[in-house]
């Protein structure tokens, strides 16, 4: 039994949580800022991002990389100043999203692949951004590539395809490219995906809590030392721990839709969960009802982020 503890509230829409320097870093996407939460649960604004921040990561020299969603750029925050690290707008047509940065500074960036909830789902690709800002087109035919992790040895990348209801793995080559695509785990049934497709035609990005323990889709994810992946599933208002092949070992229900999660704390056994009532931008901006919860788990976090 997991006891959830509320740590923070008043966030518009939390996304991209990372554990770094004994703080939880995250993007308040609809509040247009990057923030931290320390061990005493104090919130602090790091910087403001006018075009919506999402995924976060760090270069080997300590500079912070930030996904700037609507202008499709990767920004660099260094010595209190923002600059453009890479411009992806010539390669992709729709909002950038989550990102993972490897230990050598290579960033892997997802994107929506569609304009809005009513738009037809278009398969898209991960973008690869080298430490020096060079942009490379990564693997294509992905359905809304979202939360992403890299294993501790740096050899495998796993990405959640939200609108395909699965986690997909790639081998990371010596030059940082992604090869040998495989389905790592399927967590949503065809019935669930069909229902979500129907709701999207009505303009509903994610339904309210269905009450079904099997109504899962992957949003934000994080990895533990036993190669289990914690998945934030907004459609079920829960986070689940999934093993390779699709076995679900744990489920933790959340008070609102769960959109992202991260293992942190001094021993990396604190699971932080970012929740909100909706992912609708107008709703989130009108009333900051996003919250951060935590619970203790048995297996420590591992890999990146």
Domain annotation covers residue 303: no
Domain annotation covers residue 305: no
Rounded CA gap, 199 and 241, in Å? 26
Identify the pLDDT of residue 195.
Answer: 57
Query: pLDDT grade, residue 200 (50/70/90)?
Result: low
8 and 31 Cβ atoms separated by less than 8 Å: no
Identify the pLDDT of residue 134.
Answer: 98
Distance of CA 63 to the CA centre of its chain: 20
Domain annotation covers residue 302: no
Domain annotation covers residue 92: yes
Query: pLDDT grade, residue 115 (50/70/90)?
Result: low
34 and 18 Cβ atoms separated by less than 8 Å: no
CATH assignment at residue 93: 2.120.10.30
Which tokens is 28 given? 């308040």
Residue 85 three-state SS: strand
129 and 76 Cβ atoms separated by less than 8 Å: no
Domain annotation covers residue 204: yes
- Category of 112 on φ-ψ map: left (φ > 0), alpha (ψ -120 to 50) or beta: alpha
Which tokens is 198 given? 């129907």
Domain annotation covers residue 248: yes
- Rg, C-alpha atoms of the chain: 17
CB atoms within 10 A of CB 70: 13
Closest CA to 254 of 241, 271, 269, 239: 239
Closest CA to 260 of 21, 51, 99: 99
User: Who wins on pLDDT, 242 or 203?
Assistant: 242
Question: Can you give the residue range of the structural domain that contains 268?
Answer: 5-296
The β-bridge partners of 101 are 107
Domain annotation covers residue 168: yes
**Cα dihedral sign for 169, 261, 77, 112?**
positive
Query: pLDDT grade, residue 113 (50/70/90)?
Result: confident
Domain annotation covers residue 304: no
Closest CA to 220 of 173, 278, 279, 159: 159
Can you tell me the mean pLDDT for 71-80? 97
Identify the pLDDT of residue 121.
Answer: 62
Can you tell me the mean pLDDT for 242-270? 96
Rounded CA gap, 233 and 176, in Å? 29
116 and 164 Cβ atoms separated by less than 8 Å: no
What contacts 4, CB < 8 A, 6 or more positions away? 252, 254, 255, 273, 293, 294, 295
For the chain, what is the domain count? 1
Query: pLDDT grade, residue 219 (50/70/90)?
Result: very high
Rounded CA gap, 234 and 8, in Å? 19
Which tokens is 57 given? 């990561």
Edge-to-edge strands, sheet with 53-58:
53-58, 64-68, 73-78, 81-87
């Amino acid at each position: 039994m997991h006891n959830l503890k509320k740590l923070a509230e008043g966030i518009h829409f939390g996304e991209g949580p990372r554990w770094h320097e004994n703080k939880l870093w995250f993007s308040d996407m609809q509040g247009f800022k990057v923030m931290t939460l320390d061990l005493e649960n104090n919130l602090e604004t790091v910087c403001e991002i006018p075009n919506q921040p999402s995924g976060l990561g760090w270069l080997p020299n300590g500079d912070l990389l930030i996904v700037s969603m609507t202008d499709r750029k990767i920004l660099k925050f260094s010595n209190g100043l923002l600059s453009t690290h890479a411009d992806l707008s010539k390669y992709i047509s729709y909002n950038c999203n989550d990102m993972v940065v490897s230990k050598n500074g290579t960033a892997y960036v997802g994107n929506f692949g569609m304009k809005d909830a009513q738009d037809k789902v278009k398969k898209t690709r991960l973008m690869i951004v080298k430490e020096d800002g060079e942009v490379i087109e990564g693997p294509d035919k992905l359905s809304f590539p979202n939360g992403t992790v890299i294993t501790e040895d740096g050899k495998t990348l796993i990405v959640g395809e939200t609108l395909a209801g699965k986690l997909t793995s790639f081998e990371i080559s010596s030059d940082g490219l992604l090869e040998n695509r495989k389905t790592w785990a399927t967590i949503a049934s065809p019935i669930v995906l069909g229902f979500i497709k129907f709701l999207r035609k009505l303009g509903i990005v994610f339904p309210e809590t269905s009450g079904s323990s099997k109504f899962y889709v992957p949003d934000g994810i994080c990895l533990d030392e036993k190669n289990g992946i914690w998945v934030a599933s907004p459609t079920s208002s829960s986070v689940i721990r999934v093993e390779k092949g699709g076995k679900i070992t744990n489920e933790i229900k959340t008070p609102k839709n769960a959109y992202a999660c991260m293992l942190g704390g001094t021993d990396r056994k604190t699971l932080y969960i970012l929740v909100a009532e909706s992912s609708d931008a107008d709703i989130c901006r009108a009333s900051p009802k996003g919250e951060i919860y935590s619970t203790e788990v048995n297996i420590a976090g591992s890999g990146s982020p």
